[in-house]
Structure 1
Amino acid sequence: MFSFSVIGCLLFYSVSILATKNVEGSQPTLQKTVQALFTERSQVMYPGACKLIRSSLHQSKMCKRNPGLAEVLQQAKDQAIRACEEAFQYDRWNCSLVFNNKAKRSIFNKIYRETAFVHALIAASVTHTVAKACASGDLTRCSCTGINGKNSSFKVGGCGDDFKQGKRITRHFLEINEAGYDQIGEILKQDVTVGVDAMAEQMREVCKCHGFSGSCTTKTCWKRLGPFNSVMGLLKKQFHHAIKQRIVNYTTKRAITPRVRKKMKIDRKSLVYLHKTPNLCVSTKGRVCKDRNNCATLCCGRGFVTSHKTVNYRCKCKMVDCCFVKCDTCSQVVDVYTCK
């Protein structure tokens, strides 16, 4: 017979293995949804009300209750991927789904800096598109956020971007409260919150005057979000200043106690991640640099090849026939830098 000590060791080993597999394999809805919205680059349509992803029961109910939400989520996905690829075009990580072109090294296998950023990015994009859809009427279950000026002789209605509804739908659709209370759950909820808060910082009050002969007898004000690209600068800054946390209870999936949370010292305004990104220099071979200075970083010291290409652009534009702009087509030879 096995001794109790041997049995205990075997049990401990088995639990540790299962716990590790649960962290990296079985994901809560938050992780699955973010991964689906960032991974699926094609226009695949799934059965059910949400169409865009394999939705949970809760998500399906949300899509049924909010006509147009499936289309809005499609816009959010496209917007997030496009903005990410533009912002990181000349970085070592260019928003690819895997590291160093290896299918088994997905950015979603662990909590890398890139994983944290994508969670914030998707949250910001969904918040933005929902808020804009409320203002445009594409979503109807929203509140009017127009603000009429004080001391007005009459009122003019006007609705702005409904950020509160955008935030509410984002948190509920991602099922943020179901992410768990272990270290993984706490970190991913933190990263989602950073994305939503970054979007909140883009809210501005816009006002318009109304009155006879241009007078401002009535002023209507409303809240408006800037273009999504305006938040990308802030999110990218958060990406570069993300904080790496020490793994406290990653394999055991224990709930975070107040004592452990105090040890973690999470800055609620910063992106947080757990694992160091692999060396990406291998994957930059053949990549195009922005300029020579960018090549020094992107090419990892391997050097670069300079070639030339001709580009066409509009030039010598002038107004003709009162209201039309006519331009010539000019060409220019430009340098192209490619990593060795």
Structure 2
Amino acid sequence: MRPVLIAACLLLLAPITDSWWASGSAVILDPRMVCKKNRRTRGRLAQICRNETGLLKEISRGVTLGATECAHQFRNRRWNCTTQRRSMRKILMRDTRETGFVNAITAAGVTYAITRACTAGSLLECSCQKEVPKPRRGRVAQMPQPPSPAQTDRWQWGGCSDNVRFGLQKSREFMDSRYRKKSDIKTLIKLHNHNAGRLAIKNNMKVECKCHGLSGSCTLRTCWWRMPAFREVGDRLRDRFEGAAKVISSNDGDSFMPESPNIKRPGKKDIIYSEESPDFCSANMKTGSLGTEGRQCNISSAGTDSCDQLCCRRGYVQTTIREAENCNCQFKWCCEVICETCYVKRDIQTCL
């Protein structure tokens, strides 16, 4: 079982004190810990914690979804979005690009899981969205294009659209509400990156249609909104990570601005940060870096998983292993496939 799957199980089953994505004294990604630390608060967060247990379950699933995607997106990098609890705690206590990505992908995961539960009918508080989407006043509507006349005679909104509006609302209420009264730079950046994660879903909704008509004539199409695949959401946020902008506090103390006046102000969809990242080459528990010693690299790659990049130019050791695989397979009538077992040699490179 992969480490991220083990972490997912621990998130749901382990004691509260064993949460693995924690930020110092403010645990932001374990719903049970959030509720425990905010028992005396009022408002929507308190209501969710006391009365909406089904929603808390979906939030936990969303956290796991974000963690899994983070591990996938960074699997070939020096920082691989480790599920090691102490390391991740240190990462979240800082304000680097990696912190920004974790906050963004988590907010996206929570939004996605809640929206998906609405569509599936798993939550009493919501259902799928059936009304026709309306343009926002004063803005160009981000409306999907109807099918072309060559494809169908008529089309209409219908079916069961993903209720992303509800997912966005609940994600904001749970993840953002306890920070709203704060205006320090780290809080402003956290809230911005939360929103960037949600926008990676909201701004990339797609249209799916179903044909109706005799013999597949498609004389009518019913169309509805659908969320993008979460892998696509992760890809978009990884691109935002690559182009993340460094910001500093503005003079008013209630906003931020680019570190350099020559840099364009980051938009709502961008990931931002205020601290430079460590190089993650060597183990350093002060920064949360586990180092890359012992990591497997790719000698034929020119990317982030290359032995030069991943091993930080320290070199690597090559080992030859034998792997079993099926070979010389034959189909035997009827109905069986018989294979031999062959052993092939493969070279693997491990960072020093």
- Alignment partners' CA distance in 2, 1:104 and 1:206: 38
Aligned residue for 1:227?
229
Deviates more, 1:234-243 or 1:56-65: 56-65
Q: Are 1:178 and 2:180 counterparts? A: yes
Q: Secondary structure at the match of 2:211?
A: strand
- Alignment partners' CA distance in 1, 2:94 and 2:13: 26
Q: Secondary structure at the match of 1:199?
A: helix
Aligned residue for 1:273?
273
Structure with greater helix percent: 1
- Alignment partners' CA distance in 2, 1:290 and 1:321: 42
CA drift at 1:83: 1.4
Residue of structure 2 aligned with 1:113, choices 97, 104, 111: 97
Say if 1:315 and 1:327, in contact at 8 Å, map to a contact too.
no
CA drift at 1:124: 0.8
What does residue range 63-82 of structure 1 map to in structure 2 within 5 Å?
Answer: 63-66=49-52, 68-82=54-68
Residue of structure 2 aligned with 1:95, choices 56, 67, 81: 81
Task: Render the CA deviation track for 1:56-92: whole Å, top value 9, x for unaligned.
Answer: 3443422555452122122212211111112211201
Q: Are 1:53 and 2:33 counterparts? A: yes
What does residue range 26-41 of structure 1 map to in structure 2 within 5 Å?
Answer: 41=11
Higher relative contact order (CA 8 A, sep 6+): 1
CA drift at 1:169: 0.9
CA drift at 1:304: 0.9
Letter in 2 for 1:256: D
Aligned residue for 1:43?
13
Change (3 A) 1:200 1:178: same
- Alignment partners' CA distance in 1, 2:15 and 2:330: 46
Q: Are 1:242 and 2:251 counterparts? A: no
Q: Secondary structure at the match of 2:13?
A: coil
Letter in 1 for 2:316: F
Q: Secondary structure at the match of 1:202?
A: coil
Change (3 A) 1:316 1:302: same
Q: Secondary structure at the match of 2:248?
A: coil
Larger radius of gyration: 1
Residue of structure 2 aligned with 1:191, choices 172, 190, 193: 193
Q: Secondary structure at the match of 2:346?
A: strand
CA drift at 1:336: 1.4
Q: Are 1:287 and 2:271 counterparts? A: no
- Alignment partners' CA distance in 1, 2:77 and 2:331: 40
Percent of residue pairs identical: 29
Change (3 A) 1:120 1:317: farther
Q: Are 1:303 and 2:315 counterparts? A: yes
CA drift at 1:157: 5.5
Deviates more, 1:330-339 or 1:186-195: 330-339
Change (3 A) 1:241 1:259: closer
Say if 2:211 and 2:220, in contact at 8 Å, map to a contact too.
yes
- Alignment partners' CA distance in 1, 2:103 and 2:297: 27
Relative to the length of structure 2, the TM-score reads: 0.69
Task: Render the CA deviation track for 1:107-155: whole Å, top value 9, x for unaligned.
Answer: 1222111111111010111111111111111123225334789999998
Q: Secondary structure at the match of 2:75?
A: coil
- Alignment partners' CA distance in 2, 1:234 and 1:170: 19
- Alignment partners' CA distance in 2, 1:86 and 1:246: 30
Say if 1:147 and 1:221, in contact at 8 Å, map to a contact too.
no
5+ residue gaps, structure 1, are 1-36
